[in-house]
Structure 1
Amino acid sequence: MSADGSRTPACDEAVRARIAAARLWAAHRAPYLASAVFALNPVILEPALDGDSGEPVADPGFRAFPADTRWNLYVEPGTALATPVEEVGWWMLHQVGHLVRGHAARSPVRPEPGHEVGHAAGAVRDEEAHRWNQAADAEINDDLEAEDLRGPAGVVSPAELALPANRTAEEYVPMLDVLVQAMGRGGRALTEAIDCGSAVDGQERAYEESGSGEGLTRLDRELLERSIAAGIQDRISARSEVPSGWRRWAGERLRPSVDWRARLGATIRRGVSTVAGQVDFSYRRPSRRAAAYTGIVPPSMARAVPDTVLVIDTSGSVTDDVLNRLLAEVTGIIEGVAGPDRRLRAFCCDVRPHPVQAVRRAGDIELTGGGGTDMRAGITAATALRPRPDLVIVLTDGETPWPGQRPAAHVVVCLIGDAGHAPGWASAVRVPADPPRRVPVKGES
């Protein structure tokens, strides 16, 4: 160190050599994450110094080599030089897990105005933020353990805590709450207080000013994540071993994201246009052009507005809030296609159809029922109506038996949630049961 206690070139060189060796170790042990490991940007901090010798000493607050959301890895010299290369490499893989899996964006914790998160292990941290850090650690460390990469002492281990494997951070939070309460009654702590930085919860730390302006841009991160996911999929195709958590992440990352509202609207409009294309002759608007030449008044071609019936699953497994939201979407789409004030017929159905309702708006539908589920009864009742409907739209979670044969009317099924299924003869759209809340724009109440 220099006389004034600042870093010397030799100290920096030793630290960078340790980081370089750790990168190679991590890339070798988890090759599907090699590009992510080499994308980390080390930011060397001012060291903590021994009061007598003036030499760098390890700072426990930086034992996890914390990272921020711009992929900066904050390295405290004394900690880096005192930590074995293999352990530094393990923490690199750990931080990559936080970054790639978007734990900061998924965090339920939001920073409070004027609140600064300390970096020391003994600093008082918000309990919710600390629990989220532990749960996110459990999600990552589970996959590292699957590669036989055991973490340092004091880190959360799902296997050692007898927690189920292959769960997400959101699932681990309540499990850890129960364990903390049980262990607290015995006077023990669950794990050590380890802070992984803003990469895990999105709350900026004071030391992150050292890396301001550095790191990856949003586009860089997007391209990097896609490259990692594609590489994992290639390894899976080649039958190479990849932990299940990374398999799941890669599949979700590469799956096209389709706006369910746009898809629902397109499916209903396609169903409406299909039945509306069935034209017929009509004398209500004679063909004047043909009459001018022949003196005979022939009928014109008329396209009727399709008659639509809604069949609504009101069994106990589908909540009224979800149904009301979907009904507003569906009736809005139909109004846009068939015109305003178009009267619709609707059935509520659990194990049997309830009386038909003639409505103009979604708010006019009275949701009745609440028993089991059998959409066969609802579809049969809908197609037995007179006049017979051209289009039947079914709102259900799909946990129901279906008719064995295609009904006379065209059927569109709105599947609520991830479970259940639709019959092969129907047009189907899967919609979320619990969509994310809309964040108000600044200035809105």
Structure 2
Amino acid sequence: MSPQDPAAPGALDYDKLFAARLHAARVRPYLAAALFALHPVESRRVPTMGVDRYWRCYVSPAFVARTPVEELAAVWVHEVSHLLRDHHGRSDRLARERGLSGPAQRLRMNVAADCEINDDVYGDGLVRPPWVVEPRSLGLRPGELMEDYLLTFGLGPSTQLTAWLDCGSGADGLDRPWEWGPDGAHGLSGHERDAIRFRVAQGITGRPGTASKGWRRWAEEAFHPPQAWRELLGAALRSAASGAGAGQDYTYGRPSRRSAGVPRVVLPSLRAKPPRVSVVVDTSGSVCDAELGSALLEVAAIAQALGGRRDLVGVVSCDAAAGLVHSLCRGQGIPLMGGGGTDLRAGFTKALAARPRPDVVVVLTDGQTPWPSTRPACRTVVGLFPRGGGASSWKEDDPDHVPHVAPAWARVVEIGTSSRGR
């Protein structure tokens, strides 16, 4: 990102642009999932490169033509960092809380967001472009967050050289005329964006020491911090898995002690094994993208609780009808499709019909669903998305719909609250 040179003719050099992205993924492998999720859009109206909140990256052909591949790689990392760190959402919250409005204040937010990223993103194979804005260039202390920097500097002589700065609405939340908006092609949904953030955070925490201090801090915060509801859900899952017959099998690898009482006969012993878990995710129209993103985080947390055994976790998306059982070991993504009415009984039927049969069924829902009339053959844990005032304010197809009460045979935990599950 540098001040735009006079317009240069020619189409966007995609080979050069993609070579730079590949270089960025090689030197920052934990960001690869996010880098390749960005959809490039050629635009002569963007000064350099900029992103919107829907993970489109608008690219100036003239900027690509005059910028070395190594510096373009740094710009790729810079732009995707804005999106991973939710600078657009944080800017919107700051604007509401502090009454900040107008392009000048959004420019301050863009500069503050750049300072948060640029103080430790370069080095270790990623070159520092000569035009980047760093905290020390503005007399600020490194290692702070965007919100902290906004309190310590204003627009003036020290920031006049940043007037050209434009990383797009993905950096400060202010929509640009050259962006395609929420209805444009190739945008990512809310839960798709949350899934990418979680995969990047997982890559950073899984290989400690390879990421900078700022990225490690971000990754720790990207995972849900320990909360009472998370502990309750984990305890409920362990309790369900420890029931009679769950998570057990016979093995001849270690003969039973009773073999000594039966001469010339080898009896198998009973061994514990990780339980198989089917997760039914409510994808009806009453569940918002943020809650679907939370459901994806819970699915990943369940897989971690099983020692990383993704093959033991199956996911069923269900609104009024159930989709296929998706095994986590079959691919990186988790398809969550739906948007209609709600009847999770179909999801229970699909989950229980899987082979091998699950030991535990976990249901993530807002509770607006009919429940099976009889207890399933395995333990059931229900994670409820919180709804204010008990009954949900969301409207289903039936305007007289009243949320159903979760059955007594299920262990129920409210997700995102500190209330004690029953």
Question: TM-score under structure 2 normalisation?
Answer: 0.47
Higher relative contact order (CA 8 A, sep 6+): 2
TM-score, L = length of structure 1: 0.44
Q: For the pair shown, which has the larger CA radius of gyration, 1 or 2?
A: 1
